[in-house]
Amino acid sequence: MLLQVLSLVLGVALQDNAALQTNEALHAQPAAETSGRAEVLVLVSDHGSGTTNFGDILNTHPCILDVGEPFGSGYMLWTTYSQPAECAAQNLTDHPAMFDADNGKLEHADNPKMTREINDVLTRQEWNKGADKVYYNIDSRSLYVNLTYNLAEYFVRIRDLVCAHVPASARDLCPAANCSIMLKMFPVYVDGDTVIDHTPSPGHAACQAAQNVKAMKAWKDALHSFEMDPKVATLNFERNELDRQFSNFHRFTSIGTEFDCNCIDGL
């Protein structure tokens, strides 16, 4: 996985500026040239809620491209914040993030996971099959040129970049004006913590609560940006919380650990 991430970073760094200049032009289109409809669907949800299955269904439409999860704690977050005092003894991992939530400053003008997702969604489309199949390696640097602390703007830029690379041979199935993408919005993107620790250390609950208080401001900022952008639509996608927690427990917890059916009390 580390090699994959490094190859993405190096691949971007070694490309010339022609693709960057072309992609920058995508983000300078006047509002009059937009379709007048939402072009980005954001699933507001959390891990273990069934969003992957929902995305797979939408992706069967030739002009709705499921880009998936643009951020991840093992890669890059949208934003993070200074560590709460309650977490000083928890030895938390500091996750890199594009923005500092405390001041709205851009800290990392790159997101290798997003680059991978963009290339993957185009490569696996039904209209990209057979002997002429293209394995995409898109220069994504244009996404970060003059980017401000506005997640809706970032998602719209992703849509423009993805849809600009739908080939002419597929335009009968996916005309440029109809091209849309779907992305997920999870609490972890703003360094929120919704994971139930079944073997918690002392002070874990207080630390988690303090983290989520800080993350809530960034979460609200993101949702507000979606609300204010006519190119973005949101869908609140929920699952019974106990079932969601058990899904994550079953997937990630080591064999032999017992699931606490009362784990969501107080949430």
Average pLDDT over residues 3-24: 30
**Which tens digit of pLDDT belongs to each residue from 41-70?**
998 887 665 667 777 777 788 899 999 889
Using DSSP, state whether 43 is helix, strand or coil.
strand
Chain-wide mean pLDDT for the chain?
Answer: 78
Q: Which residues pair with 44 in a beta bridge?
A: 185, 236
Q: In which residue are the tokens 């959390």 written? A: 46
Higher pLDDT, 35 or 172: 172
Q: Does position 94 have pLDDT exceeding 90, yes or no? A: no
Contact yes or no for 113/92 (Cβ under 8 A)? no
Query: Residue 84: how many CB atoms within 10 A of its CB?
Result: 18
Average pLDDT over residues 71-79: 89
pTM of the model: 0.76
**Which tens digit of pLDDT belongs to each residue from 115-128?**
999 999 999 888 88
Instruction: Enter the DSSP assignment of 173.
Output: T
Beta strands per DSSP E along 58-110? 64-68, 77-80, 97-100, 105-106
| Residues written for the chain | 267
Nearest to 124 by CA among 185, 149, 116: 116
- pLDDT score, position 31: 39
Distance CA 70, CA 12 (A): 17
Using DSSP, state whether 144 is helix, strand or coil.
helix
Query: Hey, what amino acid is at 237?
Result: F
Contact yes or no for 149/9 (Cβ under 8 A)? no
Sketch the domain layout of the chain as residue ranges.
Answer: 42-252
Average pLDDT over residues 72-100: 87
Query: Hey, what amino acid is at 246?
Result: F
